[in-house]
Structures are given as C-alpha cells and as structure tokens.
Structure 1
Amino acid sequence: MITFNRRAILFISCLLLVGVANAQGKIPGGKIEEGFEYRVLPDAQPVTAKGKVEVIEFFWYGCPHCYDFEPELSAWVKSQPKDVAFHRVPVAFREDFLPHSQLYYALLAMGKADALNDKVFYAIHKENKRLLTENEIADWVASQGIDRNAFLTNYRSFAVVSKAKAANQLVMQYRIDGVPTIVMQGRYVTSPSIAGSKAKAIEVITFLEDKIRKDRYK
C-alpha cells in the first residue's frame, strides 16, 4: 500500500490545479485557443483603419467591471506602437443609460475624452454620482474646468445624439452581450469574463494583435 504525507498531497494537488488551469488557458502563460479565450464573429465587420490593428472597447461608464478593467487596458493602449488604432464605443443597454453615451461623445468632440475618461469612472463608482441627467452631467463637467454652455452645445448636438444611438446599433452588429468587451479587426472578440481574468484578457489581446500583424492586418 502506497501512502503520502499531507505536504506531498497538497503539493501534488497544486500541480494538478495549475495543469488544469493551463490546459484551459485561464492563467497567464497558459494556452490561448479560439472558442475558449476568444471567439470569432461569424460575420466580420469592416475596419475603419486600413493597415492597422483595430481595437474597439465596448464599455459603459456605469459598469463596475469596466471601471475595474480600465487601468490594465489603458496601460496596454499606452504601450502600443503606431499601427494600433484604439477606439471606445459606449454601450447603453437601457434607454435611460444613453446620457452616459452622450457624455462620452460630447467629451470626445471637445477633445477631452482621454483626459476625463478616468475621472468620469471615478465620479460614478467612487463618488456615487449617477451622471444620468443633463444638469447633473453639465454641473460635473463644469467642475472639471470645462465651459458648461460649450459642453451642453456639444451634448445636445445632432452629431453627438446620433453617435450615441448608432453605438447601440454596433452592439447588435458585433453581438455584444456584456461589457467590457474587446473586438479586434472586426472579428476577434474577448473580455476578462471570456478569457478568465483581466490579466489573461490583456494576454489574449496581445496574442491577437500579433496574429493580426502576421496575417497582414486581416
């Protein structure tokens, strides 16, 4: 009869768990496979930047998971070469969330989206501001040193309202069922929930980036 002491059993158990996790590709350094860590859209969507790696993040300012993923994603974006084209698409799964989409596009139109993106997340998730009414949004934006009237002109503009509504059409085209979700080159889809963790999602994004380059941006 073969016996093992408790320490040996624990050690073997840990090895088995790591092996399973690697086989599933759920920890950094594990395998990355289509259908597990990412999926491929049945109908590829056209890219807007030819000869580049197009990366789209579908997000919602009110989503705690988007807020949690933002530091890792932003760090990845800042480290990328010039052939990576990164865009954000705000998602409003409900009509009353559309003000968040308008907020993003109004800031984008004013060239302030990158500067205030993290602050919007912080205001909602750490300062308990809903930012779902025009007055509340305008007051908050003004507190950030932006002219209130200039912001409202953009916020109410036909272009911004149209972009906010069109963003929800993209949700259907890209088959987005949750956020945050990353779509690359109009065909590859991944996210922290699909990949298994935030760290693994970044690893998958990098893997797909290399794949797209090797495939000559296809």
Structure 2
Amino acid sequence: MNKRLALLLLALLPLIACSRQEPPAAAPAATEAAAPAVADEAVPADEPAAAADAATTPAPATDPAATATPDAAPAAEAAPPAAAAPAPGAPVAGVDYVLIANGQSFLPLNGKVEVVEVFGYVCPACAQFQPLVNGWKNKLPANVRFTYVPAAFGGPWTNYGKAYYAAETMGLVERTHDDLFKAIHIDQTLKGERGTDSVADIAAFYGKYGVDPKQFASTVESFAVNAKLNKAKQWAIRSGLEGTPTIIVNGKYRVLGKTFPDMLRIADQLIAQESAAAAQ
C-alpha cells in the first residue's frame, strides 16, 4: 500500500506545480518586465515560439530601448500597456453613465450645456439629494443651464408634478422648492406617499407664499400645466428613466454613480466633455 501511495503522489506532483504556476503566467507584462532576470536573459535556441513572440513585438519608436541590444527588448515591451491605460477618472459608458439612444435635450440647447434633474417631491431620495444639488448647481459654469423636470409616475407624483409647473408659471419655484420637500419629509404637514394630498391641500401650502390658493388650484388643472407635465413624462420615458433622482446631461447621458456625490462628480466630467466638444 505504501508503495502504491508513493507512486500516486509522484503522479500528482506535475499537476500541483502547473496549478501554482498559472498566476505568474497570467500576470501583466509590466510585472514581468520588473524582474531583472527577464531583461538580461537571452532567448534559448530550443524555444522558437518564445523567440518568435519577441521578434514580432516592436519597441515603441520614442523609447531609447528601440536602439538597444536585443537583450533589452523585453523591458521595452512593458511600455505599450501603460500608455494604453484609460485616463484616470474619465467617465465610462455602462459604468458611470448610460448613453441614451437618439437622446434629445429637454429644451433647445441654444449654445448651452443642459443638465436636467428628474425628481419627485414625494421621493425621499430626492429630498436627501436636494441639499447637495443646491450647493452644486450654484457653482456650475456660465454655459450650463440647470433644469428641474418632475417625474409623473401616477398618484401623488402627478399632482405634485403639476404643482411644480403651476409654481413655475406663478414665479414661486425659487421660494418654495426646498420648503415643499421639508413640508412632506420633515414637518409632515403634507402626506406625500404616506397618503393622498388633494390639489386643495397642495394649494394651501402655496397660499403661504402670497398667492390665492384657489387661483393656484385652477392653474394646477390648466391646459398649459397639463401639457408641460405630459411633455416631461414623454421625455423621461424616451430617456429611459428608471428612478429618481436622475441627472441627464444634454439629453445624451443618463448619469449612474454609486452615491449622490459620485453622481455629481460624473455629471461634472460629462459637462466638461460636452463643453469642450462645443468649443471645437
């Protein structure tokens, strides 16, 4: 039995060695070039495949190693992977943003870079995002136009979306936008998604800012406001909206991001990218 066991172990040793050699074989070329033995070691005559690989890999024209002896060629081969690496922090499609097929801006660009936040007053995440957006949008370059677009997902979302456009029509957005989030999510004087706020309930909130609640309610139900909300809904659908808050740049890029600050970082990069393209 001992003799058979010994023979079995001897048979398995080559398999174990191959397994342990796999990680070094898969290591990047830059790591291999860092080993002094590779740079100094000549290619044996009985390894034509390795010699062929070395012969068919050209050295970079700007690298001094291009005029060096063949022994220095392996060290020079590490340069192309390093040069081909993407620029640090550059936004990546499918990771940082979604490229919207046939995307269109919400409003005519007129030489501006458009940044849209699709939001909902009843959305808790939008309420958390709003303080960050306030500080960020106030520092945007002069060539950037920031626009709020309310999402119309039905139920209370629709009434509050119409309330946004009624407030816009009556010049109330700047004074009421943050306060409405506060009324729903902090003070809870309005229900948001916790119940049903009638148009009269919402109009009473805006009445605190010097407008006639009845006039506000009438504006909410007007043809112009309904047309604006319908346009916003159709644009959000075409843009592939999946949730709120969502940032869309120039109607082309739907920002992803892992956190709210990350979303704004990516938006900044896309704004810079679109500004540079417009300047050309």
Shorter-chain TM-score: what band? 0.7 to 0.9
Cα deviation digits, residues 165-216 of structure 1 (max 9, x gap): 22211121111010000110110111xxx21011111111111110001111
In structure 2, the CA distance between the partners of 1:213 and 1:136, relative to structure 1 (3 Å rule), is: same
Structure number with greater CO (CA < 8 Å, separation at least 6) is: 1
Correspondence 1:97-176 to 2 at 5 A: 97-128=157-188, 129-130=190-191, 132-176=197-241
Deviation at 1:140, TM superposition (A): 1.2
The one-letter amino acid paired with 2:96 is E
CA contact 2:151–2:161 (8 Å) conserved in 1: yes
Answer with 131-140 or 203-212: which moved more.
131-140
Pairing partner for 2:261 from 193, 199, 206: 199
CA RMSD of aligned residues (A): 1.9
The one-letter amino acid paired with 1:205 is A
Q: Which runs of 5+ in 2 are unaligned?
A: 1-87
Cα deviation digits, residues 106-125 of structure 1 (max 9, x gap): 00001111221000111110
Percentage of identical aligned residues: 29
Cα deviation digits, residues 97-153 of structure 1 (max 9, x gap): 210011100000011112210001111101221263111111111123322233223
Which structure has the bigger radius of gyration? 2
Inter-partner Cα distance in structure 1 for 2:249 and 2:151: 17
CA contact 1:185–1:217 (8 Å) conserved in 2: no
Inter-partner Cα distance in structure 1 for 2:231 and 2:155: 13
Q: Which residue of structure 2 lines up, in the alignment, with residue 10 of structure 1?
A: none
The one-letter amino acid paired with 2:191 is R
Cα deviation digits, residues 10-57 of structure 1 (max 9, x gap): xxxxxxxxxxxxxxxxxxx85632211112112221451221110111
The one-letter amino acid paired with 1:215 is A
Answer with 181-190 or 41-50: which moved more.
41-50
Deviation at 1:96, TM superposition (A): 4.3
Q: Which residue of structure 1 lines up, in the alignment, with residue 247 of structure 2?
A: 182
CA contact 2:124–2:185 (8 Å) conserved in 1: yes
The one-letter amino acid paired with 1:187 is K
Inter-partner Cα distance in structure 1 for 2:226 and 2:114: 24
Inter-partner Cα distance in structure 1 for 2:213 and 2:166: 12
Inter-partner Cα distance in structure 2 for 1:217 and 1:142: 45
Report how many aligned residue pairs link the two structures: 187
Q: Which residue of structure 2 lines up, in the alignment, with residue 74 of structure 1?
A: 134
Compute the TM-score of the two structures, normalised by the length of structure 2: 0.63
Answer with 208-217 or 40-49: which moved more.
40-49
SS in 2 for 1:127: coil
Answer with 76-85 or 116-125: which moved more.
76-85
Pairing partner for 1:45 from 96, 99, 104: 104
SS in 2 for 1:215: helix
Inter-partner Cα distance in structure 2 for 1:80 and 1:30: 19
Inter-partner Cα distance in structure 2 for 1:199 and 1:33: 17
Inter-partner Cα distance in structure 1 for 2:89 and 2:261: 12
Q: Which runs of 5+ in 1 are unaligned?
A: 1-28
Inter-partner Cα distance in structure 1 for 2:156 and 2:261: 32
CA contact 2:122–2:156 (8 Å) conserved in 1: no
In structure 2, the CA distance between the partners of 1:50 and 1:127, relative to structure 1 (3 Å rule), is: same
CA contact 2:114–2:250 (8 Å) conserved in 1: yes
Pairing 1:32–2:97 present: no
Deviation at 1:93, TM superposition (A): 1.3
Q: Which residue of structure 2 lines up, in the alignment, with residue 6 of structure 1?
A: none
